């Protein structure tokens, strides 16, 4: 023991020597306080898994000196007896904006014309890249917010400026209101933070979209690498800061589960493992979250039940939103069960009280308490690489700890104190005894059953004599109990008054004044400690409420299991081959291993499932050359050329329009960028594999395409009076944009061949066009511009692949044929803006008759599921044959997309992308009975009926649960409809 005491003294001396003050002070003689404090007889959670019963915690100079059971306490130590109390490490929030105000937009900036150049001199070309921001320059300790965090159990926050795409470094701050920044700032370069949100301090337009932010990040990383090699001719303070921060922890606010997947892919591309800040929906696609190998920081701001008491209001709430209310509290458990490291954050919580309530709810839904504590302490410390400072009560760590009445996750547990860097913050009197429980009070030989509930500071008592409830009143202060209750005699109101000092809550005794005024004694024996209570006061074990099964997508028409590829024999169908065989009557088609194996009569089924197609029509799946469904965003409008952006980055695999398109016989779409600029973004060709991931929907081995645009949209004719600064503003300017960018691409290619060049994603894409490795689909209307772009392409030695819309194609069909360009048009849309004034419904037929490859497209989420009927209009307007008209929505768009070797017709060896129709496929009465892609059925009429019943049953069950919540007095939110956005070419989100 003497040896241990000497070691402690040496340790204290070394601490004092190490922490010598070097600032001179002009405040006279001063004695430094190095008080040693010993907290004894406590249950100490050194870490969530290392727990000491009846232990001692020694702290000095704001740090933990030692924890254990047999610790020699120096005589000069202040001793605090914590018998019956628990000590936990204070919590850590790794994603905070504590003490840093978010910059506000300049007044009226939304009315001003957007800026297209950076305003920060000496920094990166985009103002929203701000790795140079240092939060210490903006930091001001917020006592009010600190108090709320301290009451919730937090002792440390990792704060940063919530502004910009790259937001600069973070700062680890102890919530010590009694110290200055030199003490409480533990690390002023604790992490680098990123997001997809632009900075509020700049009006620079680019990027205006999620895909633009992703493209900007990629280009930034390429530029940082190029800059680090000394290639730049000028100093770039932003890139220097980015390179200086690259070894810090990289924390990325991805925003949702879809973005988390794509964000991780960007990180993989550049050798970065991000820590991902999610939104609490990770459970809906947990396998994909696990595949990122990322650590997650998650909020626990679970939604309230919807008020569905009004049937009409209830009908507008989406099933997806209802299910999220029911399932969201299971998110932490889902992460835990799948071995995903996660930490909690107060970000998005309105208060510490709300945070704690939701934390309890997550535990109720199955989250292990030890793992919950890890998510608040050791895991955030590990994520931030600050385990040597915070997150535990191991030797040398910050003396940040909670003193509680018991289990921190028990709803009735009280946090008495939160010590930060050895400074005490008192919230409740820890000497206050907890009387809550069930007792037998014996007064003058009579037994009374007394139940005491409430909070330790504000108790309520229920007194029973046999089955009779007696009126009562209780007060407990400074360890003195005063209890008054009525006598069992109901004929008159008389009282029994009890007073007693309470030294032991298990058994105590005192004085009783009974009804006749005489004094006697009483004693009280505790029978049962108060159990945890829910909001309605019902005790017992916390059991998880009934949770509906999770499907993918986790809403209407989603499924818990994916459909499987199968061998199928369609027997006795009318087969529209789209090949030289034409339409075959009473014919069989065998699908095997995802391909069309045989076509003929009386085929042997083998082990294939037989489908009787008598009286029905079998066709190739419909292909929409121009679609905007299944996307989170459509336009990047920040520049006149955005060839660097990619629609593959923003595929939304959960868009219900995918399912609706399958119900309309659509199997393949080209997801196009919009028409906000002359040179738009790269497209994505999708197979509509409902229930699969975004990557699994990408059409295998397809050529690359890009969207160009002409006309009113790109010159911003209808964008408003402020949109007058971006070039081009005229049709002449549009031509010049194309010429300039193609010339720049040629010059870029020459520099690239020299070996000394800056990698430019935009130029790489345009170069692919010139080298005929990427193909142009161009939004077009007016004949003069159509002619113009063909001439520009001829000048630079390539062909335009497709003019889409092209409502004046009938005027230049001969020139289109000569150039070799196809036309993907509308069947009969016109008069929706001035430049379609000359549109006619015979456009498709005229181009077709001139030898132009013609398709009909939708450009609309509603029309896309009725393209079979659009094809019929080519028969009505222009007399196109039924077979050729059907090719307008099947084989011809397949040829335009260069995938006709795989899809678009029924031919042996092609993909089994097939639709079985209940009637003639161009009839308004025809329904798609079965839609398959590569032999997998993704839509079936019979299964659709089952899904509709399932949707209604789930809605009814969830509404009953929500009504029960409201009846319990729980807070609800108004029923509201989530508007379905149907994207078009001109949809722009700023």
DSSP state of 179: S
Tokens of residue 234, six digits: 């000028």
Q: How do residues 800-822 score in pLDDT, each as one tens digit?
A: 999 999 999 999 999 999 999 99
Contacts of 183 (CB under 8 A, 6+ apart): 62, 174, 176, 421
What pLDDT does residue 886 have? 98
What pLDDT does residue 31 have? 44
Q: In 544-630, which ranges are E strands?
A: 568-576, 583-592, 595-600, 609-612, 617-620, 622-627
Tokens of residue 771, six digits: 């080298």
Q: How do residues 875-909 score in pLDDT, each as one tens digit?
A: 999 999 999 999 999 999 999 999 999 999 999 99
User: What CA–CA distance (Å, rounded) separates 272 from 251?
Assistant: 11
CA distance to 640, 672, 771, 948, per residue, from 778 (Å): 15, 10, 18, 39
User: What CA–CA distance (Å, rounded) separates 94 from 380?
Assistant: 6
What pLDDT does residue 830 have? 84
Would you place residue 17 in the very low, low, confident or very high pLDDT band (cuts 50, 70, 90)?
very low
Instruction: Tell me: pLDDT of 825 over 90.
Output: yes
- Can you say how many angstroms the Cα of residue 878 is from the centroid of all Cα atoms in its chain? 50
What pLDDT does residue 25 have? 58
What pLDDT does residue 11 have? 40
What percentage of the chain reaches a pLDDT higher than 90? Answer: 81
Instruction: Tell me: pLDDT of 5 over 50.
Output: no
Q: What is the mean pLDDT of the segment spanning 195-217?
A: 95
User: What CA–CA distance (Å, rounded) separates 851 from 383?
Assistant: 63
CA distance to 454, 769, 784, 801, 976, per residue, from 819 (Å): 84, 16, 15, 9, 52
Q: How do residues 101-119 score in pLDDT, each as one tens digit?
A: 888 776 544 446 678 889 8
User: What CA–CA distance (Å, rounded) separates 402 from 418?
Assistant: 5
Q: What is the mean pLDDT of the segment spanning 6-32?
A: 46
| Beta carbons of 867 and 903 less than 8 angstroms apart | no
Residue 16: Cβ within 10 Å count = 13
Residue in this structure with the two tokens 């210490």, named with its chain if needed: 136
Residue in this structure with the two tokens 């040496």, named with its chain if needed: 10
Instruction: Tell me: pLDDT of 411 over 90.
Output: no
Instruction: Tell me: pLDDT of 2 over 60.
Output: no
What pLDDT does residue 755 have? 84
Q: What is the mean pLDDT of the segment spanning 188-208?
A: 95
Q: In 69-160, which ranges are E strands?
A: 78-81, 86-89, 91-96, 154-159
Q: How do residues 173-188 score in pLDDT, each as one tens digit?
A: 999 999 999 999 999 9
| Beta carbons of 307 and 975 less than 8 angstroms apart | yes
DSSP string for residues in 835-879: GGTT--TTHHHHHHHTT--EEE--SSTTGGGGHHHHHHHHHHTT-
Q: Kindly report which listed range (6-15, 833-842, 923-932) carries the lowest average pLDDT score.
A: 6-15
Q: How do residues 324-359 score in pLDDT, each as one tens digit?
A: 999 999 999 999 999 999 999 999 999 999 999 999
| Beta carbons of 546 and 961 less than 8 angstroms apart | yes
- Report the chain's mean pLDDT, rounded to a whole number: 92
Residue 729: Cβ within 10 Å count = 15
| Beta carbons of 683 and 673 less than 8 angstroms apart | yes
User: What CA–CA distance (Å, rounded) separates 973 from 986?
Assistant: 34
Tokens of residue 345, six digits: 């954050």
Q: Kindly report which listed range (155-164, 562-571, 652-661, 715-724) carries the lowest average pLDDT score.
A: 715-724
| Beta carbons of 542 and 532 less than 8 angstroms apart | yes
What percentage of the chain reaches a pLDDT higher than 70? Answer: 94
What pLDDT does residue 483 have? 95
What pLDDT does residue 457 have? 75
Q: What is the mean pLDDT of the segment spanning 449-459?
A: 87
* Cα atoms in the Cβ-side hemisphere of radius 13 Å centred on 567: 10
| Beta carbons of 888 and 855 less than 8 angstroms apart | yes
User: What CA–CA distance (Å, rounded) separates 986 from 990?
Assistant: 12
What pLDDT does residue 712 have? 87
Sign of CA dihedral 716, 719, 725, 726: negative
Q: How do residues 592-604 score in pLDDT, each as one tens digit?
A: 999 999 999 999 9
User: What CA–CA distance (Å, rounded) separates 105 from 116?
Assistant: 17
Q: How do residues 611-624 score in pLDDT, each as one tens digit?
A: 999 999 999 999 99
Q: What is the mean pLDDT of the segment spanning 24-32?
A: 52
Instruction: Tell me: pLDDT of 480 over 50.
Output: yes
Q: What is the mean pLDDT of the segment spanning 386-413?
A: 96
Phi, psi of 930 (to 5 degrees): -140, 130
Report the alpha-carbon angle 301-303-308, nearest 5. 170
User: What CA–CA distance (Å, rounded) separates 897 from 887?
Assistant: 14
User: What CA–CA distance (Å, rounded) separates 717 from 850?
Assistant: 33
User: What CA–CA distance (Å, rounded) separates 890 from 904?
Assistant: 5
User: What CA–CA distance (Å, rounded) separates 805 from 829?
Assistant: 9
Q: What is the mean pLDDT of the segment spanning 676-705?
A: 97
Model pTM score: 0.90
Q: In 138-267, which ranges are E strands?
A: 154-159, 166-169, 171-174, 185-187, 192-195, 250-253
Instruction: Tell me: pLDDT of 538 over 90.
Output: no
Nearest to 965 by CA among 348, 361, 347, 282: 361
* Entry field: residues in the chain: 990
Exposed (0-12), middle (13-18) or buried (19+): which is 308, by Cβ within 10 Å?
Answer: buried
Would you place residue 541 in the very low, low, confident or very high pLDDT band (cuts 50, 70, 90)?
very low
Q: What is the mean pLDDT of the segment spanning 457-483?
A: 92
User: What CA–CA distance (Å, rounded) separates 566 from 571?
Assistant: 16
What pLDDT does residue 878 have? 94
Would you place residue 21 in the very low, low, confident or very high pLDDT band (cuts 50, 70, 90)?
low
The residue ranking higher by pLDDT, 440 or 516, is 440
Instruction: Tell me: pLDDT of 431 over 80.
Output: yes
What pLDDT does residue 22 have? 53
CA distance to 48, 580, 589, 903, per residue, from 620 (Å): 60, 15, 12, 7
What pLDDT does residue 1 have? 42
Would you place residue 19 in the very low, low, confident or very high pLDDT band (cuts 50, 70, 90)?
very low
- Can you say how many angstroms the Cα of residue 626 is from the centroid of all Cα atoms in its chain? 28
Q: For the chain, first and last CA: distance in Å?
A: 70
Q: In 858-956, which ranges are E strands?
A: 914-917, 928-933, 936-940
| Beta carbons of 237 and 132 less than 8 angstroms apart | yes
Instruction: Tell me: pLDDT of 28 over 80.
Output: no
What pLDDT does residue 892 have? 98
**Kind of pairing between the strands at 519-529 and 507-513:** antiparallel
Nearest to 409 by CA among 67, 88, 42, 156: 88
What pLDDT does residue 434 have? 82
Instruction: Tell me: pLDDT of 463 over 70.
Output: yes
User: What CA–CA distance (Å, rounded) separates 153 from 299?
Assistant: 16
């Amino acid at each position: 023991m003497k040896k241990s005491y000497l070691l402690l003294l040496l340790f204290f001396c070394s601490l004092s020597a190490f922490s010598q003050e070097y600032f001179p002070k002009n405040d006279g003689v001063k004695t430094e306080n190095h008080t040693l404090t010993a907290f004894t007889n406590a249950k100490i959670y050194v870490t969530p898994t290392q727990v000491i019963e009846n232990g001692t915690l020694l702290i000095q100079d704001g740090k933990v000196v030692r924890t254990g059971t047999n610790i020699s306490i120096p005589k000069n130590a202040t001793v605090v007896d914590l018998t019956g109390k628990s000590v936990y490490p204070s919590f850590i929030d790794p994603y905070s904006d504590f003490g840093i105000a978010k910059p506000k937009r300049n007044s009226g900036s939304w009315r001003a014309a957007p800026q297209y150049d950076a305003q920060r001199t000496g920094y990166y070309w985009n103002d929203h890249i701000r790795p140079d921001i240092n939060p210490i320059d903006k930091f001001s300790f917020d006592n009010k917010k600190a108090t709320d965090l301290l009451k919730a159990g937090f002792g440390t926050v990792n704060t940063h400026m919530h502004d910009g795409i790259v937001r600069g470094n973070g700062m680890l701050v102890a919530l010590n209101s009694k110290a200055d920044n030199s003490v409480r700032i533990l690390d002023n370069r604790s992490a680098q933070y990123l997001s997809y949100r632009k900075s509020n301090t700049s009006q620079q337009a680019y990027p205006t979209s999620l895909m633009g932010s992703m493209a900007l990040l990629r280009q930034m990383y390429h530029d940082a690498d190029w800059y680090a090699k000394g290639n730049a001719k000028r100093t770039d303070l932003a890139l220097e800061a980015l390179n200086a921060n690259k070894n810090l922890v990289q924390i990325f606010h991805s925003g949702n589960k879809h973005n988390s997947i794509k964000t991780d892919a960007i990180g993989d591309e550049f050798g970065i493992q991000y820590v991902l800040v999610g939104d609490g929906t990770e459970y809906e696609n947990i396998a994909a979250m696990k595949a990122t190998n990322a650590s997650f920081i998650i909020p626990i701001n679970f939604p309230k039940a919807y008020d569905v008491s009004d049937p009409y209001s209830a009908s507008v709430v989406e099933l997806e939103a209802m299910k999220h209310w029911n399932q969201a509290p299971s998110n932490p458990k889902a992460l835990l069960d799948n071995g995903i490291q996660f930490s909690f954050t107060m970000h998005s919580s309105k208060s510490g009280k709300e945070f704690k309530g939701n934390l309890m709810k997550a535990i109720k839904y199955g989250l292990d308490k030890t793992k919950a504590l890890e998510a608040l302490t050791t895991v955030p410390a590990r994520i931030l690489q600050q385990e040597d400072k915070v997150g535990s009560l191991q030797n040398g760590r910050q003396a940040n700890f909670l003193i509680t009445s018991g289990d921190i996750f028990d709803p009735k547990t009280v946090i008495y104190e939160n010590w930060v860097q050895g400074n005490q913050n008192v919230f409740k009197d820890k000497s206050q005894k907890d009387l809550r429980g069930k007792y037998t009070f014996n007064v003058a030989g009579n037994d009374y059953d007394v139940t005491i509930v409430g909070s330790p500071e504000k108790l309520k008592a229920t007194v029973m004599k046999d089955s009779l409830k007696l009126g009562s009143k209780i007060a407990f202060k400074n360890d003195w109990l005063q209890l008054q209750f009525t006598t069992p005699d109901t004929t008159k109101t008389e009282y029994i008054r009890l007073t007693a000092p309470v030294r032991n809550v298990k058994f105590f005794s005192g004085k009783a004044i009974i009804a006749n005024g005489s004094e006697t004694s009483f004693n009280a024996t505790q029978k049962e400690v108060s159990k945890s209570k829910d909001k309605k006061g019902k005790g017992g074990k916390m059991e998880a409420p009934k949770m509906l099964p999770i499907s993918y997508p986790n809403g209407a028409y989603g499924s818990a299991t994916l459909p499987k590829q199968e061998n199928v024999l369609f027997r006795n169908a009318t087969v529209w081959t789209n090949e030289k065989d034409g339409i075959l009557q009473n014919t069989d088609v065998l699908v095997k291993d995802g391909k069309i194996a045989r076509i003929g009569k009386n085929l042997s089924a083998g082990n294939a499932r037989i489908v009787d197609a008598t009286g029905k029509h079998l066709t190739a799946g419909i292909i929409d050359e121009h679609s905007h469904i299944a996307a989170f965003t459509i336009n990047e409008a920040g520049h006149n050329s955005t060839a660097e952006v990619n629609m593959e980055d923003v595929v939304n695999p959960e868009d219900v329009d995918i399912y609706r398109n399958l119900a309309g016989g659509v199997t393949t779409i080209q997801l196009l960028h919009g028409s906000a600029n002359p040179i738009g973004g790269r497209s994505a060709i999708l197979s509509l594999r409902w229930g699969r991931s975004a990557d699994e929907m990408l059409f295998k081995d397809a050529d690359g395409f890009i969207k160009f645009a002409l006309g009113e949209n790109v010159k911003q004719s209808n964008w408003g009076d402020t949109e007058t600064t971006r070039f081009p503003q005229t049709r002449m300017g549009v031509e010049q944009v194309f010429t300039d960018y193609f010339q720049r691409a040629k010059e870029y290619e020459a520099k690239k061949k020299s070996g000394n060049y800056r990698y430019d994603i935009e130029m790489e894409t345009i170069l692919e066009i010139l080298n005929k490795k990427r193909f142009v689909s161009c939004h077009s209307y007016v004949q003069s511009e159509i002619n113009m772009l063909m001439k520009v392409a001829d000048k630079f030695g390539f062909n335009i692949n497709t003019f889409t819309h092209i409502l004046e194609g009938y005027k230049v069909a001969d020139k289109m044929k000569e150039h070799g360009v196809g036309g993907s048009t509308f069947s009969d849309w016109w008069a929706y803006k001035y430049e379609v004034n000359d549109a006619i419904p015979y456009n498709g037929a005229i181009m077709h008759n001139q030898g132009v490859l013609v398709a009909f497209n939708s450009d609309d989420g509603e029309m896309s599921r009725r393209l079979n009927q659009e094809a019929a209009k080519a028969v009505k307007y222009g007399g196109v044959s039924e077979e050729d008209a059907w090719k307008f929505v099947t084989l011809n768009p397949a040829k335009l997309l260069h995938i006709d070797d795989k899809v678009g017709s029924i031919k042996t060896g092609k993909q089994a992308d097939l639709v079985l129709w209940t009637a003639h496929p161009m009839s308004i009465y025809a329904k798609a009975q079965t839609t398959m892609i590569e032999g997998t059925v993704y839509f079936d009429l019979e299964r659709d009926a089952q899904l509709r019943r399932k949707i209604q049953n789930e809605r009814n069950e969830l509404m009953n649960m929500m009504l029960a919540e409201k009846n319990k007095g729980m807070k609800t939110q108004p029923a509201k409809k989530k508007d379905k956005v149907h994207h078009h070419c001109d949809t722009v989100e700023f």
